Amino acid sequence: MQTLPAVTAPASSHRTQARTTTKVAASGLVGDERHASAESAILIHGDCRTELKKLASASVDAVISDPIYPEVNRAYGRISEADWHLLMHDVVRECRRVLKPTGSAVFILQPNFDRMGKMRLWLWDFLLWAGREWNLVQDAYWWAFTTAPTCAVRREYGLMRQSVKTCIWLGSPDCYRSQNKVLWTPSDAHAAHNRSNRALKIGPSGNRMRNDAITKSSDERGGTTPFNLLPAPTGSGTTSGHPAATPYPVASWWCRYILPASGVLLDPFAGGGTMLAAGLNEGASKVIGIEKEAAYLEIAARWIEQKANKGLRCGRCEAQGQDGSCESASFQESTNPRHPQRGSAP
Ligand SMILES: C[S@@+](CC[C@H](N)C(=O)[O-])C[C@H]1O[C@@H](n2cnc3c(N)ncnc32)[C@H](O)[C@@H]1O
């Protein structure tokens, strides 16, 4: 495998608004057709409110982004709820403009508390606004099942562990998506079990079903419909070093689902470049990242150079080699077509 050419990272002048564009050439790819059309990553240093306006209309196939959240102290700053809504309204409108008519946008958001027992409502305010302004294609969630207990779950508060993040998916009702790329495949053993179970079952609610009917319909579709709750561990071992990096399995799942082959992916809050690397690995012809902190763009440039176009398909493949033989359980297994499915699918 040829290595990627050296990346010229942007000048590390933190908090400057100057526009620095870095192209990460991605020639010399592995001999995998999915990667053959990947050409470049464009990293833009600046505020996405300004930089999005410079992108051509109808030039992008998918926006997948994990934006800054309001009222959270982060190394990259804290933003009030009011300012966050102003920012995101601009971002949503601009993303809609730059997307092709078949394109869609996913914003991954995590709710937070005002104080224990009193949630902030910004996420749902945004969801309602964006859904009415544009269109909510479907409600979808990422379940970070490895989330550690926080202080909210102390007995004195008695609350539940917060482990579900909302993936706000906006686009036209018939926007591009490929269920084939994210179908769950039942294990042979599970399918055989279901086939052998043809008895009519009547549940406590009176619902009547036959397992073989479920199996038959999933066989006809070539797999089992995925849930709108994506199980993915946090800290999957492949983070770039960005302090709030998106887990790679979440990024790659959305890329597989809504980014067409050789499409153009945009992340207006690119951080350390997880979405961009996943986009290239999933066959994007171009990925565009905007990030206001130059230091994170340097991380992104390095991360893309290391990870993109190398057949990385899941959080743990890196450790297991790139032959698709990852033995890891859970998310990767259930969503990655290159991994045998040992678990049971519904
Ligand atoms: C949650 S992080 C994104 C993490 C990224 N998905 C990754 O995996 O590395 C949000 C990022 O948005 C950036 N950001 C915040 N406000 C911005 C703005 N107005 N324009 C561009 N980037 C911004 C922050 O610096 C931060 O790196």
- Do 146 and 197 lie in a common domain? no
Please report whether residue 343 resides in a domain: no
The C-alpha atoms of residue 105 and residue 232 are separated, in whole angstroms, by: 20
- Do 206 and 156 lie in a common domain? no
What is the average per-residue pLDDT within 203-228? 80
- Do 197 and 143 lie in a common domain? no
Nearest to 257 by CA among 146, 150, 161, 336: 336
- Do 149 and 197 lie in a common domain? no
Quote the mean pLDDT of the chain.
Answer: 79
Please report whether residue 67 resides in a domain: yes
Last residue of a domain, one of 173, 194, 222: 222
What is the average per-residue pLDDT within 181-198? 76
pLDDT of amino acid 325? 31
The C-alpha atoms of residue 242 and residue 45 are separated, in whole angstroms, by: 16
Count CB atoms within 10 A of the CB of residue 10: 24
Domain ranges, residue 90: 20-185+226-335
Strand stretches in the chain, DSSP E? 20-25, 40-45, 60-65, 99-109, 113-115, 118-119, 136-143, 164-171, 200-202, 208-210, 229-231, 264-267, 286-291
- Do 35 and 162 lie in a common domain? yes
Work out which ligand 1 atom sits closest to the CA atom of 239: 8
3 state SS of 323 = coil
How far lies 116's CA from each of 82, 111, 119, 152, 194, in Å? Answer: 21, 13, 8, 7, 45
Last residue of a domain, one of 222, 237, 270: 222
The CATH number linked to 49 is: 3.40.50.150
Which amino acid would we find at residue 252? S
The C-alpha atoms of residue 206 and residue 45 are separated, in whole angstroms, by: 59
3 state SS of 176 = coil
Q: What is the DSSP letter of 46?
A: S
Give the tens place of pLDDT for each residue, 218-238: 777 777 788 999 998 886 555
Please report whether residue 9 resides in a domain: no
- Do 240 and 301 lie in a common domain? yes
Give just the sign of the alpha carbon dihedral 119, 77, 253, 60: positive
Task: Please give the residue that has the higher pLDDT: either 175 or 324.
Answer: 175
Q: What is the DSSP letter of 241?
A: S
Task: Please give the residue that has the higher pLDDT: either 2 or 105.
Answer: 105
The C-alpha atoms of residue 213 and residue 198 are separated, in whole angstroms, by: 8
Work out which ligand 1 atom sits closest to the CA atom of 268: 21
Give the tens place of pLDDT for each residue, 256-310: 999 999 999 999 999 999 999 999 999 999 999 999 999 999 999 998 988 776 5
pLDDT of amino acid 233? 85
Distance 340 CA to ligand 1 centre (A): 34
Task: Please give the residue that has the higher pLDDT: either 206 or 276.
Answer: 276
Residues with Cβ within 6 A of ligand 1?
47-49, 66-68, 76, 87, 240, 242, 244-246, 269, 271-272, 274-275, 290-293, 296
How far lies 32's CA from each of 66, 132, 284, 301, in Å? Answer: 28, 41, 13, 22
Please report whether residue 181 resides in a domain: yes
What is the average per-residue pLDDT within 36-46? 72
- Do 126 and 255 lie in a common domain? yes
- Do 258 and 196 lie in a common domain? no
Work out which ligand 1 atom sits closest to the CA atom of 296: 27
If one residue of 166, 236, 292, 306 were mutated to test the ligand 1 pocket, choosing by the most ligand atoms within 8 A of its CB, it would be 292
Please report whether residue 31 resides in a domain: yes
- Do 111 and 256 lie in a common domain? yes
- Do 200 and 299 lie in a common domain? no
Please report whether residue 322 resides in a domain: yes
Query: Residue 36 above 50 pLDDT?
Result: no
Looking at the chain, the whole-number percentage of residues with pLDDT higher than 90 is: 56
pLDDT of amino acid 203? 80
If one residue of 95, 291, 307 were mutated to test the ligand 1 pocket, choosing by the most ligand atoms within 8 A of its CB, it would be 291
pLDDT band at 31; cut points 50, 70, 90:
very low
Identify whether the C-beta of residue 259 lies closer than 8 Å to the C-beta of residue 177: no
- Do 213 and 273 lie in a common domain? no
Please report whether residue 265 resides in a domain: yes
The C-alpha atoms of residue 83 and residue 89 are separated, in whole angstroms, by: 10
Please report whether residue 4 resides in a domain: no
How far lies 118's CA from each of 22, 74, 112, 113, 186, in Å? Answer: 43, 21, 9, 6, 41
Domain count, the chain: 2
Work out which ligand 1 atom sits closest to the CA atom of 303: 9
- Do 89 and 210 lie in a common domain? no
pTM above 0.75, yes or no: yes
